[in-house]
Amino acid sequence: MIARALHLFTFITLLFCAFTPSANAQQAKIGFQWRSVELRGKAYIPLEQIKSFYQLQESKRKNQTLTLENRRTQIEITIGEQKIRINRATFYLSEPVIESADTIHLSALDLRSLIDPVMRPAKVARDQIFNTVVLDPGHGGKDRGSAKQEASLTLSLAEKTRELLVNQGYRVVMTRTEDQFVSLGERVRIAQAEANAILLSIHFNAGQKNTHGLETYIISAREPHPAAASSVTLATAVHSRSLLYLNDPMYGNQFQIVDRGIKHAKFSLLKGVSHPAILIEAGFLTHEEEAAKIHSEAYQNALAKSFVRGIEVYRASIQKKP
Give ∠ CA 123-127-128 in degrees, rounded to 5.
110
Q: How far is the CB of 160 from Zn ion (least distance, A)?
A: 18
Strand partners, 165: none
Residues within window 140-159 making contact with Zn ion, judged by CB under 5 A:
145
Per CB under 5 A, 138 contacts Zn ion:
yes
CA dihedral 162, 245, 197, 176 (to 10 degrees): -40
Instruction: Give the total of residues touching Zn ion (CB under 5 A).
Output: 3
Q: Which is nearer to Zn ion, 145 or 283 (CB)?
A: 145
The least distance separating Zn ion from the CB of residue 281, rounded to whole angstroms, comes to 7
Shortest gap between Cβ of 158 and Zn ion (angstroms)? 12
For the four alpha carbons of 67, 69, 73 and 79, in that order, the dihedral sign comes to negative
Q: Does 187 bind Zn ion (CB under 5 A)?
A: no
Q: Are 280 and 238 in contact (CB under 8 A)?
A: yes
Closest among 263, 159, 252, 161 to 217, alpha carbons compared:
263
Smaller CB distance to Zn ion: residue 123 or 176? 176
- DSSP-derived secondary structure for 293-319: HHHSHHHHHHHHHHHHHHHHHHHHHHH
* Residue ranges in 195-214 that form contacts with Zn ion under rule CB under 5 A: 203
Using CB under 5 A as the binding rule, whether residue 176 contacts Zn ion is answered as no
Specify the residue, 145 or 276, whose C-beta has the smaller distance to Zn ion. 145
Which residue's Cβ lies closest to Zn ion?
A: 203
Q: Which is nearer to Zn ion, 126 or 271 (CB)?
A: 271
Of 80, 75, 84, the closest CA to residue 100 belongs to 80
Minimum CB separation from Zn ion for residue 146, in Å?
Answer: 5
211 burial (CB, 10 Å; 0-12 / 13-18 / 19+) is middle
Quick one: 116 or 215, whose CB is closer to Zn ion?
215
Residues that bind Zn ion (CB under 5 A): 138, 145, 203
